[in-house]
């Protein structure tokens, strides 16, 4: 049953009759452009489809049904009110190319969001168009590049990233035609300033970093880093994926960053949708503002208008971005208010530090025990792996049996056998305590009965899946037997 | 305070366990001068009720009558079941299916989606979505440039011409993205019939690395895709086909264009169950021949077995992706448009091939009815699909504005995109448009033109 | 976890902050009328509530996730389109006492439904107000009573029901102040006409029956029955719970019935909601029409108006009935059209007869093997029960483990160890075949391993529940430990 | 054809298995003269798209501005999560939880609901809903008559007087139902202050079997429930309290009325998360003291244990119900209003006692603001809750009609219910009403009154 696909339910001639418009001829299409045979899409009744996808959904973990301490992903509660607000018929039915004159309600929402985000960023300009964090990064690096070009400095094509940067950072740099250079991280999770000094130079386009970093700690010497990069002629990109930790507490603009993106699907609580969509608005200091991607909403005396920044890097998509996600983020921000925003950072941090303290007491090794956790922290199971032959991945899989989603595994890369844990502020103490209890239980199992851990999960719809076979014997689409 | 569950007792107990006096202490590693409060007057948090009132008022402000604009975003019927299912928490609030065993629902949906798109396009593989049509076309171009080994070996210039009637906003997005890799994207002229004029390319040597054609094109016109595909195949140029997936219920799949077909197929999935919603979120799709699978960007799901030998699904070929391959990845894409893919999969299951065909045919027929009713000449002579360029005989932008004030979206004025078409509008009538609505448009247009 | 209630998640001072309006004083309420201590409702976060109820829902079977061959309940597909149509903001926001002048859209819908149902009933008058089948029955019996009273025949207070009638029939009669007399059913499931003749008399108010009957067969001599009752001065009530079997094929009005109800939550596919709501419109012949409960929608030349029938038995509820359910039923009927309605009866009957034939072949005993099944049929496990000590209830519980809802058990009462099976027309052949396979499997188990069947279910969130303890040690509400 | 999955091949195979030639043959037991097709011109089935268009148009026809009518149905805010959850297929399309092991979700929800209602009312037990407030009051009256053993023994007449300001539509429903059991329901007069005048009863001997009082009453006025409860208790009259459950977040629970409290509590649950939706579906609730549990109509859920000794939920005391006890059941109710109970349970979980209290208080405050703004005298002097009777000084019905044409529901004209109040309207402003809306009403009213 597990792997019965919708195609297996199909029968020739079956269908969902209520979904068929009255038949119409399309005889005037040139015969040579028409297809011979119909595509083999499923032929199922409405009930069959409904039941199939209802039951498939039940094979998923989700925030609505489980705790997700997934580091770097900020899986917090996605308010249903925001979902409904963005689903107002007037918004759902709005065509993207409707004239601005009949789109003032929508434009007002976007403008409000721009203003809110500017304030949170500590930056004077904002474009909402990037469709995810990675596209925000792309915009940012392209802007950095365009800025250097505009200064007549077209040789600056090297992007620095701290070791352990998220994969999108180097991938973005490469996609923007830049080369990537890693900068080492020191013992306590901070960037190695000497290494940075050695790395910067005439080719430096800029540095991309998160803060709090992917190590789950606040980079204490961030302004020194900014000075080093700026002094060398480079610019600083702030990867906003970890902004939940400092929301209402500190602003990237104050730290010396020139350009940044938000992950609204993290910090602003829009749902992850099983992989997307997200939104990655990009903010900039005054000197980079003219390079922002368009369109941007501007408020005039009379109304709201779309504008394209003067030296814009251009459009990143056909229309204006993931509007529905932007609306959800605005709804969330409005419900938080200033005070609520501050509390996000505070309680995300409280939860992470509490969990770190509890796990430490339970015998787990923190990667950086001397540091404050930000909104997330890292434990390493390297010792355990050596002793009992149980890996971080085994731990992760076994947690699923306890009804808890696995933390992020093996990231950042430089910490061996690590779990990156981020509880978020919307989980209650009881949930955190249950997580600690599960971890303690698995730790005991790892010692007494490692096989159970190694072969986990046991309570999921499938047992552990063979990824090697998946990649070796590629089966990427259903075919009739 | 919304969404944070901590009681004072919880907070106190947690601070005790951490060993600090207050929450403030947890921020002691942030240098003082970086600490800042939000500026301006504090905004009080709104209750859900107040927030929804504001949204309802603003949405009502923009409410419009019938929509006769397509241009990449179409007002098709979406069965209620589609979003009732896609909005289930288990789909909507799940994370990316990295933990396969806890994500079989999402993974199987994507596998089914990949299959459906392969069936529609005739390609062998499909990814789990890119952002949308425009960015997807950019990914397709980058992919084609990477994949054309012959061109790389021979050192052909990184030039990827586009047919003249590729969606101008797709062209803009593609250019802003691929220019960073030194790829040149020249436009080919379109002819009087609205189709690409390939003769402009004929002299070129070496030939372009790749060529982009859209079917139906931005003008709604059907290109002679057989000739184009053969032109490209003869020269070793990879053909990137940008298509409306709904049209493929009626039209020849890109795999069957000419003698060898297209190499890469991309497009926007909005017509497959995604509301217009200001154009986003929608999703882009990217399909290819088997030979190019390892050049695909984004996630791909494969079927495999679990430890008991039972079938299951997992993300595969991850070595293409940024979290593994970092700077050498095929793209930087991470978060994609997964939930829209879920909706599209359900939509296609409910419509089936016959339903999609009828929707496409009904849209074509309604557009014919519309063109007839408007009584203005078509600008291009070649057969069109469910969109059509109409010549108003005077600057179109003010007319469209007037119609909008009248409460209907009466087509897209083309002047901002093609200066030479400033008197033209691109119109579309989907299967949702009634004859009464068409009549209303015709009447309103007559009124607007008589002023 | 299974039985962790929302109260167990509660903590003093916790709450869903976004759901709180701005505090307002209510100081002018007299102190002696105010409560001292707040009710102990749960104090949980929005996420806690969402997760709790999401997970609770997952402990249910439902049509959206399982096959429900539940005799007499007509658990067919509930179109999502009908649900959305009834949820139009304009309908959801309509106040029940809004003037008719600003309610013409709603009234037009009700009028359309009245007309549709009249045609299906074969009766000239219809009231939509009853809120479920049982309230429709109540209306019908009250109307019968009122009619006799209006004839000056106030002694007629006896209601006849065939043996095996649904419990609501006798209960309704009693609630209407009538006494109940059962009429025997003969071998092949038809009413015993001799017994009926003996039963009717000067006290007979009327007869209530279903047709097809609760025995799953069409009462062949229904017009004879009508004549006998009418000749004795009584009236006939048609319980429309089984109308799915004959929709588009035959009309109760033609059979001689005077008054009837529909179960829109059966025949017209509105969802059962875990127990309700439903709707039980009641139709009447011309002579009973003046007694219908109000309000009814009447179409005048200009508009639609509410009217109360001249000799109405009165209101059965404060407003006009379960409007939202009525709208769903109309949506469904509109999608069916005349042809679709006819096919409902046909394919419901086809599915039932197919399933009966298959189960008979598989060795199960049909209660009335010589009869056509209507939309449902009965098997009796009496022989099996004797031989293997496995009851119909055991079978029912074991079916749950196969992902199939149990058929109706032990109803009608006169067939020992019976299962009443109704597949409905919206289930496909594969689903029916899977059901047969499950039944065969359980039959084999009953012989080889009866203990497994007797102790079923095994794959549900709980094992078999102790009903005796539930009734003996009443625990009807959570209390703090 | 919608919703029927049979292919021709399926049908043929099934007919073969049955051994008949065609489907028609399966109807051979229906006498020919009873066979009939639908009359009139056949209606073509509409597609979901067409059907939804019709509904959308009709719903739009009835769209109104702000609602200032209460009278048993209130325009409160409902958190989005309530119906997102209640509409999940597993709640919405489940059957009655007779198969307890496959229905733990529904059963636990009802158990939680019962608890919440017991907390609000102070009663010991609660059922799983009756149809709605009016029919629920009828059930309460029947229950009281059955339960008053003393009255039965003493042969008191079956008379159940109602306080004069019990909702007139509840009174009508109750009368049409209970009259069939020979129960008389006389109305007591209400006084100038809008409260019940108990002196009218004082002479009665024997006293009534039961007495019904509503709090707040139909006029929005707060009754002196302590005095009423004591009056009833002294005479052996059972007290049926009909209450707005939301008001109980602020007001004294019926269990605490007077020295012994009410015996039976009923009401309509609409204020707890149910949209107005023309008044239905909503749900009625019925609570009682422990001693009367076995007289409750409808379903009741109990907590018990499974075969392993783990806690679980099941329907209990079924011997009260029609499917077991048939003609001796406490009621004929079968299908109830389960889904609304689910919504209400979720609603109460989200609001909590504090949230409900704030909603109630805000509604009271808004109504005060409204009365002030309207500038017309109150008709009754006693304190009111969140509704109020206002005297317009002229026939109210035409005024309300004029306001409706203006796009707002400006209160309920009371003439049709109380001839002596033909100049009065009953108004209500919930927490959703803004000051701007109140101002709009006030202005419109001034306009209507100046004509
Ligand atoms: C640190 C970091 N940077 C960037 C990204 C990329 O964001 P997106 O997935 O929205 O493209 C992520 C996403 O997980 C992240 O964790
Ligand atoms: C034969 C029969 N009659 C009457 C009813 C009562 O209908 P309702 O539950 O809608 O009150 C039912 C319900 O199951 C039934 O099956």
- The domain limits of chain D are 80-345, 353-450
**Residue B38 pLDDT greater than 80, yes or no:** no
Cβ neighbours of D182 (radius 10 Å): 10
D56, closest residue in chain A (CA to CA): A89
- Give me the sign of the Cα torsion angle D212, D216, D220, D223: positive
Residue B199: is its pLDDT beyond 50? yes
How far does A27 lie from chain B, in Å, by closest CA?
9
Looking at domain B80-345, does it have CATH number 3.40.50.970?
A: no
Q: Is the CB of C278 under 6 A from ligand 2?
A: yes
Rounded to whole angstroms, the Cα distance separating C393 from C406 reads 9
A23 pLDDT band, cuts 50/70/90, is confident
State residue D199's pLDDT score: 86
- The pLDDT > 90 percentage for chain D reads 95
C58–A55 CB contact, under 8 Å: no
> What is the average per-residue pLDDT within A330-341?
96
Measured from the alpha carbon of residue C376, the closest ligand is 2
Give ligand 1 pocket residues (Cβ under 6 A): A 72-73, 132-134, 166, 168, 210, 214, 239, 241, 263, 278, 280; B 334-335
The pLDDT, as a whole number, for residue C3 is: 65
Specify whether the CB–CB gap between C174 and C206 falls below 8 A: no
Q: Are C355 and D204 in contact (CB under 8 A)?
A: no
Q: Buried b vs exposed e over D55-69: b needs ≥16 C-beta within 10 Å?
A: bbebbeebebbbbbb
Q: How far is the CA of C241 from the centre of ligand 2 (A)?
A: 6
Ligand closest to the CA atom of residue A214: 1
> Could you say which of A42, A343, A470 has the minimum Cβ distance to residue B314?
A470
Residues 6+ apart with CB under 8 A from D203: none
State whether residue A172 sits within 8 Å of chain B by CB: yes
Q: What is the pLDDT of residue C18?
A: 97
Report the gap between the CA of C14 and the closest CA in chain A (Å). Answer: 10
Degrees, nearest 5: CA angle B357-B260-A36? 25
Contacts of D129 in chain C (CB under 8 A): 275-276
The partner residues of D288 in beta bridges, in order of sequence, read D125, D264
**Residue B355 has what pLDDT?**
97
**Which chain D residues contact residue A44 at CB under 8 A?**
5
List, for residues D147-179, the tens digit of each pLDDT value: 999 999 999 999 999 999 999 999 999 999 999
Encoding tokens for residue A131?
A: 């469709």
Ligand 1 centroid–CA B341 distance in Å is: 20
Whether pLDDT at A1 is above 50? no
For residue D268, list its beta bridge partners.
D284
Q: What is the pLDDT of residue C478?
A: 97
Give the Cα separation of C164 and C217 in Å (integer). 13
Q: Tell me how far apart the alpha carbons of residues B211 and B178 are, in angstroms, rounded to a whole number.
A: 14
Chain C interface with A: residues with Cβ < 8 Å: 1, 9, 11, 14, 18, 45-48, 50-51, 54-55, 58, 63-66, 77, 79-81, 89, 335, 403, 426-428, 430
- Counting atoms of ligand 1 from 1, which one is nearest the CA of A280? 10
* B38 CA from centroid of ligand 2 (Å): 61
Helix%, strand%, coil% for chain D, nearest 5:
45, 15, 40
> Which two three-digit tokens encode residue A112?
């409000």
Q: Which fold, B353-450?
A: 3.90.1150
Q: Which of C321, C330, C324, C293 is nearest to C309 (CA)?
A: C293
Between the CA of C414 and the centroid of ligand 2 the distance, in Å, is 18
Number of Cβ pairs < 8 A linking chain A and chain B: 701
- Does pLDDT of B153 surpass 50? yes
Q: What is the CATH number of domain A81-336?
A: 3.40.640.10
Contacts of B8 in chain C (CB under 8 A): 13
Strand, coil or helix: B209: coil
Edge to edge, the sheet with strand B424-428 lists B387-391, B424-428, B412-413
D334 lines ligand 2 (CB under 6 A): yes
Between CA C55 and CA D400 the distance in angstroms is 47
Kindly state the average pLDDT of the residues B375-394: 97
- Report how far residue A70's alpha carbon sits from residue B95's, in angstroms, rounded to the nearest whole number: 9
- Cα(B449) to centroid(ligand 1), Å: 51
The answer for B 196-215 residues in CB contact with A (under 8 A) is: none
A156 CA from centroid of ligand 2 (Å)? 79
Q: At what angle do helices D338-374 and C46-57 cross, to 10 degrees?
A: 150
Q: Is the pLDDT of residue A59 over 70?
A: yes
In the block, tokens 């002629």 appear at A233
How is domain A338-454 classified at the architecture level of CATH? Alpha-Beta Complex (3.90)
Contact criterion met (CB < 8 Å) for D57 and C405: no
pTM check: above 0.95: yes
End-to-end CA distance of chain D: 56
Query: What is the spatial distance between Cα A357 and Cα B19, in angstroms, rounded to a whole number?
Result: 9
Identify the pLDDT of residue A3: 65
Ligand 2, atom 5: nearest CA belongs to which residue?
C133
CA A34 to CA D262: how far, in whole Å? 76
pLDDT for residue C1: 40
Lookup: tokens for D118? 């017991």
Query: For chain C, which chains pass the contact test of at least 3 CB pairs under 8 Å?
Result: A, B, D
pLDDT at site A27: 80
Residue of D nearest to A22 (CA): D47
The domains of chain A are located at 81-336, 338-454
Q: Distances from the Cα of C417 to the Cαs of C52, C384, C414, in angstroms?
A: 38, 9, 9
- 3-state class (DSSP) for residue D413: strand
Q: Tokens at residue B414, please?
A: 């083309």
User: Each residue of B395-434: b (16+ CB within 10 Å) or e?
Assistant: ebbebbbbbbebebbbbbbbbebbeebbbbbbbbbbbbbe
Chain C nearest-CA distance from D228, in A, is 13
pLDDT over 70 at D107, yes or no = yes
How do beta strands C204-209 and C179-183 pair?
unpaired
Q: Considering chain D, what is the average pLDDT of its residues?
A: 96
What proportion of chain B, given as a percentage, has pLDDT over 70? 100
pLDDT average, residue stretch B301-311: 97
Length of chain B: 451
Substitution target in B30, B39, B71, B143 with the highest count of A β-carbons within 10 Å is B30
A15: distance to nearest CA of chain B, Å? 7
β C259-262/C235-240 pair status? parallel
Residue A280: alpha-carbon gap to chain centroid? 9
D54 to chain A: which residues are within 8 Å by CB?
none
Which burial class, exposed, middle or buried, applies to D246 when counting CB atoms under 10 A from its CB (0-12, 13-18, 19+)? buried
User: Chain B contacts of A265, Cβ < 8 Å?
Assistant: 335
Structure tokens belonging to residue A143: 């802007």
Q: What is the mean pLDDT of residues B346-374?
A: 97
Q: Give the number of whichever ligand sits closest to the CA of residue B336.
A: 1
Q: In angstroms, what is the span from residue A355 Cα to ligand 2's centroid?
A: 54
User: Between helices A429-448 and A323-361, what is the axis angle to 10°?
Assistant: 60
The whole-angstrom separation of Cα A229 and Cα D153 is 96
Our CA angle for D105, D107, D109, nearest 5°, is 70
Asked if B77 lies within 8 A of D434 by C-beta distance, the reply is: no
Q: Which atom of ligand 2 is nearest to the CA of C136?
A: 11
Q: Distance from A195 to chain D by nearest Cα, in Å? A: 51
Cis omega before residue C468 (within 30°)?
Answer: no
The parts of chain C modelled with pLDDT lower than 70 are 1-3
CB of C244 closer than 6 angstroms to any ligand 2 atom: no
- Using most ligand atoms within 8 A of CB, pick from D335, D336, D339 the residue to mutate for ligand 2: D335
D113-155 confidence digits (pLDDT tens): 999 999 999 999 999 999 999 999 999 999 999 999 999 999 9
The rounded Å distance from CA A356 to ligand 1 centre is: 23
Mutation test of the interface with chain D: which of C9, C23, C53, C148, choosing the one with the most D Cβ atoms within 10 A?
A: C53
Dmax over Cα atoms in chain A, in whole Å?
75
Which ligand does the CA of B331 lie closest to? 1
D88 contacts B88? CB cut-off 8 A: yes
The answer to whether B186 touches B162, Cβ cutoff 8 Å, is yes
Is there a contact between B73 and A478 if contact means CB atoms under 8 Å apart?
no
Cis peptide before D43 (omega within 30 of 0): no
Nearest listed ligand to the Cα of residue A282: 1
Inter-axis angle of helices A46-57 and B338-374, to 10 degrees? 150
Residue A2 has pLDDT above 60, yes or no: no
In C3-42, the residues whose Cβ lies within 8 Å of chain B are 11-14, 16-22
Flag if B94 and A471 touch (Cβ within 8 Å). no
Average the pLDDT over B387-411 and give the result: 97
- In angstroms, the CA D331 to CA A153 distance is 87
Nearest by CB: A20 against D5, D47, D79: D47
Chain B residues whose CB is inside 8 A of the C85 CB are 80
Q: Do domains D80-345 and D353-450 have the same CATH topology?
A: no
């Amino acid at each position: 049953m597990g792997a019965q696909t919708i195609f297996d339910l199909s029968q020739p001639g079956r269908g969902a009759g209520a979904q068929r418009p009255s038949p119409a001829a399309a005889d005037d299409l040139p015969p040579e452009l028409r297809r011979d045979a119909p595509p083999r899409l499923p032929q199922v009744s409405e009930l069959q489809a409904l039941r199939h996808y209802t039951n498939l959904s039940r094979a998923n973990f989700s925030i609505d049904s489980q705790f997700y301490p997934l580091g770097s992903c900020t899986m917090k509660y996605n308010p249903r009110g925001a979902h409904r607000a963005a689903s107002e018929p007037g918004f759902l039915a709005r065509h993207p190319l409707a004239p601005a004159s009949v789109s003032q309600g929508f434009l007002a929402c976007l403008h409000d969001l721009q203003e809110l985000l500017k304030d949170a960023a500590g930056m004077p300009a904002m474009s909402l168009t990037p469709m995810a964090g990675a596209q925000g990064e792309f915009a940012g690096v392209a802007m950095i590049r365009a800025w250097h070009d505009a200064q007549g400095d077209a040789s600056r094509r090297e992007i620095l990233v701290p070791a352990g940067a998220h994969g999108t950072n180097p991938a973005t740099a490469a996609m923007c035609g830049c080369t990537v250079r890693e900068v080492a991280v020191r013992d306590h999770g901070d960037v190695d300033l000497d290494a940075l000094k050695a790395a910067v130079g005439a080719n430096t386009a800029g540095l991309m970093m998160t803060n709090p970093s992917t190590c789950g700690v606040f980079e204490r010497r961030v302004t020194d880093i900014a000075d080093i990069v700026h002094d060398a002629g480079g610019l600083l990109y702030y990867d906003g994926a970890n902004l939940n930790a400092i929301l209402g507490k500190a602003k990237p603009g104050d730290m010396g960053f020139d350009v940044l993106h938000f992950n609204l699907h993290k910090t602003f609580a829009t749902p992850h949708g099983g992989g997307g969509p997200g939104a990655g608005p990009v903010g900039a200091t005054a000197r980079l503002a003219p390079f922002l991607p368009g369109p941007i909403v501007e408020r005039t005396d009379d109304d709201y208008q779309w504008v394209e920044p003067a030296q814009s890097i251009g459009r990143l998509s056909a229309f204006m971005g993931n509007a529905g996600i932007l609306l959800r983020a605005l709804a969330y921000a409005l419900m938080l208010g200033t005070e609520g925003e501050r509390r996000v950072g505070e309680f995300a941090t409280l939860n992470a530090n509490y969990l770190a303290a509890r796990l430490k007491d339970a015998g787990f090794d923190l990667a950086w025990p001397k540091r404050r956790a930000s909104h997330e922290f890292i434990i390493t199971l390297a010792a355990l792996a050596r002793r009992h032959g149980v890996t971080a991945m085994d731990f992760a899989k076994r947690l699923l049996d306890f009804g808890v989603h696995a933390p992020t595994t093996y990231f950042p890369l430089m910490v061996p056998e690590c779990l990156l844990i981020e509880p978020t502020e919307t989980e209650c103490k009881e949930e955190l305590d249950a997580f600690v209890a599960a971890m303690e239980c698995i730790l005991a199992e790892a010692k007494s009965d490692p096989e159970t851990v190694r072969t986990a999960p046991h309570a999921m719809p499938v047992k552990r899946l063979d990824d090697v076979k998946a990649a070796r014997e590629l089966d990427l689409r259903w075919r009739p037997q | 305070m919304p969404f944070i569950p901590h009681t004072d007792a919880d907070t106190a107990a947690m601070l005790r366990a951490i060993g600090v006096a207050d929450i403030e202490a947890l921020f002691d590693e942030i240098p003082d001068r970086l600490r800042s409060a939000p500026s301006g007057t504090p905004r009080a948090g709104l209750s859900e009720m107040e927030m929804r009132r504001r949204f309802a008022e603003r949405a009502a402000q923009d409410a419009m009558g019938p929509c006769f604009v397509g241009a990449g975003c179409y007002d098709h019927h979406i069965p209620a079941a589609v979003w009732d299912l896609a909005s289930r928490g288990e789909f909507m609030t799940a994370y990316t299916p990295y933990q396969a065993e806890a994500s079989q629902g999402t993974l199987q949906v994507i596998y089914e989606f990949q299959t459906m798109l392969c069936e529609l396009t005739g390609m062998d593989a499909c990814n789990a979505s890119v952002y949308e049509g425009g960015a997807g076309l950019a990914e397709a171009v980058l992919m084609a440039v990477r994949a054309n080994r012959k061109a790389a070996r021979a050192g052909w210039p990184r030039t990827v011409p586009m047919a003249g009637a590729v969606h101008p906003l797709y062209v803009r997005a593609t250019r802003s993205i691929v220019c960073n890799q030194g790829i040149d994207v020249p436009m080919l002229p379109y002819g009087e019939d609205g189709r690409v004029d390939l003769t402009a390319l004929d002299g070129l040597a070496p030939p372009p690395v790749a060529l982009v054609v859209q079917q139906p094109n931005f003008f709604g016109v059907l290109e002679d895709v057989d000739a184009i595909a053969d032109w490209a195949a003869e020269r070793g140029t990879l053909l990137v086909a940008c298509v409306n997936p709904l049209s493929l219920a009626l039209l020849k799949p890109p795999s069957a264009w000419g003698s060898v077909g297209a190499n890469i197929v991309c497009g926007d999935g909005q017509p497959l169950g995604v509301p217009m919603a200001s154009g986003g979120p929608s999703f882009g799709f990217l399909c290819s021949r088997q030979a190019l699978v390892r050049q695909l960007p984004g996630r791909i799901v494969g079927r495999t077995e679990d430890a008991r030998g039972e079938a299951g699904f997992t993300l595969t070929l991850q070595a293409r992706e940024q979290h593994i391959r970092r700077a050498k990845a095929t793209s930087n894409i991470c978060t994609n448009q997964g939930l829209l893919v879920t909706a599209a999969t359900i939509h296609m299951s409910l419509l089936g091939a016959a339903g999609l065909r009828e929707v496409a045919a009904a849209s074509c027929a309604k557009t014919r009815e519309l063109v007839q009713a408007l009584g203005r000449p078509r600008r291009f002579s070649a057969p069109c699909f469910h969109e059509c360029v109409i010549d108003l005989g005077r600057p179109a932008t003010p007319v469209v504005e007037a119609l909008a004030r009248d409460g209907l979206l009466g087509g897209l004025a083309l002047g901002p995109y093609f200066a030479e078409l400033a008197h033209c509008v691109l119109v579309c009538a989907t299967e949702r448009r009634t004859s009464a609505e068409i009549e209303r448009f015709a009447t309103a247009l007559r009124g607007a033109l008589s002023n």
